[in-house]
Structure 1
Amino acid sequence: MPAIREQIQLGLDFGREEPIAVLRERLLAAYGPQRHARRHTPPEQFVKALISSETYDRDSEKDFQALCEHFRPLDRLGQAAPREVLTQLANVTHPEKKASQLVASVGRIVEQRGRFDLSHLAALSVETGMELLQLHDGIGPKCAAAVLNFSTLRRRVFVVDRHIRRFGERFGLLPDNASFTRAHQIMLRLMPASWDADDLYELHWLIKRFGQEVCTSQRPLCSRCGMADLCRHGSALASKIPRR
């Protein structure tokens, strides 16, 4: 906990409320609830998470649908030739690498469990589930958390992508240049204990939308931001504007 308090002190004055709770309320006021999307099965989410890294959602979604249509059931990915998988990856980044990772990872799961099945993760602790998932090619902390939280497993873990990491750094919740592993650890510990898996799911999509529309990587729209008063980055910019 001392490390977490140290990170919180990087931010501005949030009053007596938890910083992440204050930010969540602002985001909910701006965008409304974000928790009613259809959930994929764990194997489907495993495939979707693996191919989506460094790729726009709309593009990875096209290739995910293509894979689901071509490899039905998805168990077939484990016996496919990487070049066959590659033909379905027309839109994602690093398609050759991801094709090989899919074949290797799905094949390993089928070998271990008899089929492409991840239902056993429901009975394990989140920490154990994260560790086991990251043993597979192409699955890092972001993808592992997505399988556990975004899927029908609905486990209480927070998914940190580049938008969430940038948000955390600018609002003083994370140190600059934190690794995804470290960012995941810190952000999860900042969540109030009363928040369940759906709360964490919703917060991810609230921050992601905010990061795509306002708090962008290049040229963030600080002048239009409804949370600039809570942001280190926005406050630093405001302090440089000459007063008349």
Structure 2
Amino acid sequence: MRPEEKLREAVARLKALYGRLEPPGDTSNPFKVLIRTILSQNTSYKNELKAYSALEERLGVEPGRLADADVELIAECIRPAGQHRQRAIRIRQVARSVLERYRGDLWALLKSEPLEAVRKELMSLPGVGRKTADIVLLFCAKRPVFPVDRHIKRIFLRLGLVDREDYEAVRALAEEALEPDDYLSAHLAFIRLGREVCRARRPSCLKCPLSDLCDYAASGEHALGSPPLRGGR
């Protein structure tokens, strides 16, 4: 089966299994999504939520509030996410940049053209990489981009859809194989599968709805307790 066909089949199964999935949080506010995604980097969903909730309750996740906030106070709020001092500096920097460049409102940028120029502009903000930019574009503005996180890279590699955990390779395949209307549901479904079933360690291959499509499951490595497949970055 060609990678594009396998991916479409996988997405169809996950949609049937999980139904309609919605992004977490308030997607009507791009700045809130931006900050929450920065907090999600290299941490668990549970710790991301703790950090974001504390930041919202104590300071308010708005550009004007965070731009003038004390870095130590921001760091105290977001401690559960890890790397709290570095992230606090980055959060204040991005808040100041959003105020200076866009007067605190990202909507005009998100709706502008061409899309790739908007993506590059977002990625020029402090602490904003490819995943963060793409999540803001898809979740908030419904732009046709497919964000890729660590769960999605791992699943694509195990399924044999790609030969390495490369962001742009995974994104390009997904955007070529899937309809834009399916990007959001597919993104969220793969993340749920990665958290609940196709975990980095001790994946539950016998419970996976994609096991018959999966190169890793077919290899039997999961039964032997072998480490997960890894590719280049």
Q: Tell me by how many angstroms 1:147 deviates.
A: 1.0
Specify the alignment match of 1:92 in structure 2.
81
1:104 to 87, 93, 104: 93
**Matching residue within 212, 217, 221 for 1:234:** 217
Conservation of the 8 A alpha-carbon contact between 2:6 and 2:213: no
1:45-103 CA-to-partner distances (Å, cap 9, x unmatched) read: 01111111111112211221222233334422112231121121131021111101011
For these two proteins, the number of residue pairs brought into alignment is: 220
Alignment equivalent of 2:192, drawn from 209, 226, 231: 209
Amino acid at match of 1:26: R
Pair 1:62 & 2:53 matched: no
**TM-score, L = length of structure 2:** 0.85
Aligned sequence identity (%): 26
- Separation in 2 of the partners of 1:39 and 1:31? 21
- 1:75 — aligned with what? 64
1:224 CA displacement: 2.0
> Structure 1 counterpart of 2:89, which letter?
S
Q: Does the 8 Å CA contact 1:141/1:184 hold for their aligned counterparts?
A: no
Partner in structure 1 of residue 18 of structure 2: 31
Q: CA deviation at 1:228?
A: 1.3
User: What amino acid maps onto 2:176 in structure 1?
Assistant: R
Aligned partners of 1:89 and 1:95 also within 8 Å? yes
**Equivalent position SS for 2:98:** helix
Q: Could you tell me which residue of structure 1 aligns to residue 134 of structure 2? A: 145
Structure 1 pair 68–37 and aligned structure 2 pair: CA distance change class (3 A): closer
Given the superposition, is the C-alpha separation of residues 101 and 154 from structure 1 closer, same or farther in structure 2, using an over 3 Å criterion?
A: same
Whichever residue aligns with residue 235 of structure 1, its letter is A
Aligned to 2:133, the other structure's residue is in SS state helix
Does the 8 Å contact 1:14/1:22 carry over to 2? Answer: no
Whether 2:128 is the aligned partner of 1:175: answer no
Deviation of 1:36 after TM superposition, in Å, equals 7.4
**Structure 1 unmatched runs, 5+:** 1-12
- Secondary structure of the 1:18 match is helix
Normalising by structure 1, report the TM-score: 0.82
Query: For 2:64 and 2:173, how far apart are their aligned partners in 1?
Result: 35
The answer to whether the 8 Å contact 1:214/1:220 transfers is yes
Which of the pair has the greater relative contact order for Cα pairs under 8 Å at 6+ separation?
A: 1
Provide, for residues 2-61 of structure 1, a one-character-per-residue CA deviation record: whole Å limited to 9, x for no partner. xxxxxxxxxxx269x732221111112222221476642101101111111111112211
Distance 1:38 1:71, change over 3 A: closer
Between structure 1 and structure 2, the one with the greater Rg is: 1
